[in-house]
Amino acid sequence: MTQEILDYLKENRVCVFGIEMMDGSPHAATIHFANTDEPVFVFETEKGYRKAEALEGRGVSRATMVVGSNEGNMKTLQLDGEAQLLKDTSLTDIYLTKFPEKKNKLDNPKVLMFSFKPTWWRFTDWTRPEGKTITTSDGRIVVIPRSN
């Protein structure tokens, strides 16, 4: 990902995260996220929440997320990939760096940490003077000029 996208992720704390449930149906929720530069995204949830069923029910689940759904922001990052329960505990530190107020919450045995690794993404920025700019995970950059 470009530095512009990584900076955008630093500015945001919340995303809409969707996961494939055990019966194949989708489930989406608003959730806090943290990320590495690779990127790998890190989240926490509780065992009673619906997404926990898929996370505990299979090793890897198909998932998707969107950062920036506020129309006033005029930027959005959409990602598809795979989610799984957290295996690398160093990623918990990344989460706590962004959300230090949640440190005590992670002591609760009902809390699950999980990660999301994107396999595809698209960043759209409507704020550029040259027009709507779309950057994709395959390295393409498309600019749609502003109409007068």
Range of the domain at 51: 3-145
Yes or no: say if 79 and 64 are a contact pair by the CB < 8 Å rule. Answer: yes
Over residues 25-63, the pLDDT tens digits come to: 999 999 999 999 999 999 999 999 999 999 999 999 999
Q: The domain spanning residue 27 has which CATH number?
A: 2.30.110.10
Q: Quick one: pLDDT band at residue 147, thresholds 50, 70, 90?
A: confident
Yes or no: say if 86 and 65 are a contact pair by the CB < 8 Å rule. Answer: no
The model carries a pTM of 0.92
Rounded to a whole number of angstroms, the CA Rg of the chain reads 16
136 — alpha (psi -120 to 50), left (phi > 0) or beta? beta
The token pair that represents 85 in the structure block: 């329960």
Phi, psi of 75 (to 5 degrees): -140, 150
Distance in angstroms (rounded) separating the CA atoms of residues 106 and 127: 38
pLDDT for residue 63: 98
Over residues 62-121, the pLDDT tens digits come to: 999 999 977 777 999 999 999 999 987 889 999 999 999 999 999 999 999 999 999 999
Domain count across the chain: 1
**Cα 61 → chain centroid:** 14
Q: What is the mean pLDDT of residues 5-16?
A: 96
Pick 143 or 69 by higher pLDDT. 143
